[in-house]
Amino acid sequence: MTRGGRDKNRDEPDRRCIVTGEVGPKVGLIRFVVGPDDTIYPDVAGKLPGRGIYVSAERSTLEKAVTKRMFSKGAKKQVKIPDGLTDLVEATLLKRLQDAIGMARKAGKAIAGYEKVKIMLDRGEARVLLQASDGSERGKGKLSTPEGGKWIGFLTADELGLAFGRDRVIHAAVASGTLARRIVEEAARLQGIRQVSGSTPAAEKDIGNA
């Protein structure tokens, strides 16, 4: 298993971080490309054309790449770094995570609300438990991570709410499947960029493979 509980046996190419020199699966890295104007652009979806430059999904590592101008070394030429690059990456990763949760909701794989989540957990149908970081610790502690599943607890109620088309969401759950795995992977990258570990209202709560 790699950092964040990802399965390194997945069939995907490895890439090298320009800062740490460590080689790992693309899912644990942020891809950047050089635009026509020689400016660095984040490509969190990994779809933009051009040679990719990879940085580990950790805030301190990305900030080092910016301050030490390591992108120019990776691009093998002088490049421009936009102001607020780290914050831009964080915002983009948050949007991708919210979109993935929204897709799971529309597919009938994700639900929100304490009672609905509790029923899903009791039935053994949930794979991922999501709980707002600013929700009541007492209330969150009444729900446990699905057996063999994972917990995501660093998003705010407002951020979770946006994913479900609501003002605020404290408790949510996702059933197993491709979208659950994508949600866990996107959350792991966002957590790294935010450099938060989250609180643990119940035992054995973490982010990992779903």
Nearest C-alpha neighbor of 86 from the set 159, 192, 3, 162: 192
165 plus 134 within the same structural domain: yes
The 10 Å Cβ neighbour count of residue 184 is 26
45 plus 62 within the same structural domain: yes
Rounded distance between C-alpha atoms, residue 26 and residue 31, angstroms:
8
105 plus 153 within the same structural domain: yes
| Beta bridge pairs of residue 175 | 126
164 plus 122 within the same structural domain: yes
What pLDDT tens digit does each residue of the chain (210 aa) get? Answer: 343 444 444 566 799 999 999 999 989 999 999 999 999 999 999 999 999 999 999 999 999 999 999 999 999 999 999 999 999 999 999 999 999 999 999 999 999 999 999 999 999 999 999 999 999 999 999 999 999 999 999 999 999 999 999 999 999 999 999 999 999 999 999 999 998 654 444 333 445 545
62 plus 22 within the same structural domain: yes
Full domain range(s) for residue 68: 3-82
Domain count, the chain: 2
Domain assignment of residue 137, yes or no? yes
Residue 31: CATH number of its domain: 3.30.1230.10
Domain assignment of residue 178, yes or no? yes
Nearest C-alpha neighbor of 92 from the set 163, 190, 25: 190
Rounded distance between C-alpha atoms, residue 170 and residue 131, angstroms:
5
Examine the fold and report which residue of 61, 82, 103 is the final residue of a domain before the chain moves on. 82
Residue 95: CATH number of its domain: 3.30.1330.30
105 plus 172 within the same structural domain: yes
The 10 Å Cβ neighbour count of residue 62 is 24
Domain assignment of residue 205, yes or no? no
Examine the fold and report which residue of 58, 82, 106 is the final residue of a domain before the chain moves on. 82
Domain assignment of residue 206, yes or no? no
